[in-house]
Amino acid sequence: MTNRLSNEVAIVTGSTQGIGAAIARRFVAEGALVVLNSHRDDDHARAIADELGPERAFFIAADVADRAAMELLVARTVARFGKIDILVNNAGMNVFGDPLTLSDDDWKRCFAVDLEGAWNAARAVLPAMLVQGGGSIVNIASVHGHKIIPGCFPYPVAKHALIGLTRALGLEYAARGIRVNSISPGLIVTDMVERHFAGFPDPEAERTRQAALLPCKRLGTPEEVAATALFLASDEAPFINATDILIDGGRSQLYHE
């Protein structure tokens, strides 16, 4: 590692598994001080923080859908580390269903986490970033924010909106030193995706089928998403703002009958 985030302070929401955990690990490896987050306070979440080292990382349980909880998380981060340089909005949830049978609660929870959660966290960190004259916010969106897949409603609606939030905030604060970008992963092999594969009669056959749909003929890894988050959060991307980067092996650009 090259110490690309030396003593930068980062909050990574939804960072106790999958893409979020990979981002937290990579940031710490690159010298950052990281606040891990989940809506659940459990042994697994705290074990991730212990693995990364108490001097470099600590865990705060907070639901991103709760504005007051996110404000408290930010206040505790500033009290511990003195500043906030980076926010990665990774917390999210899948809500896939039929539009006409979807419950009001599922609709509201999807937007509360996938869209409002990112705004709650951004709204909480922006005052500190404005005072210090800079910062980077990276939102984890989705290929669903670019292409509509039938049967996945309302998740793509929230992810389209998250990319819109990214662009709007990026332009709003560009002249004040704050960059806001997003990443749109495609099929990334997280624990959740592994569980999805395990539900098929032949998990390996389903994995092979999914990989064959990609131009590169392989699935993505959380570490590949983390590498892009690192780039966007670092000083290597000072002129990249209000932009979304697709990480999907080129699948979204491929024409399908």
Distance of CA 213 to the CA centre of its chain: 24
Our answer to whether residue 155 is catalytic in this structure is yes
d(CA 28, CA 226): 11
Residue burial 45-74, b: 16+ Cβ < 10 Å; e: rest: bbebbeebeeebbbbbbbbbbbbebbbebb
Q: Which of 27, 119, 155, 173 is labelled catalytic?
A: 155
| H-type alpha helices, 133-202 | 155-173, 191-198
Q: Are 2 and 30 in contact, with CB atoms under 8 Å apart?
A: yes
How far CA 170 is from CA of 74, 75, 84, 180, in Å, comes to 20, 23, 17, 4
Integer-rounded Cα radius of gyration of the chain: 18
Instruction: Provide the annotated active-site residues.
Output: 155
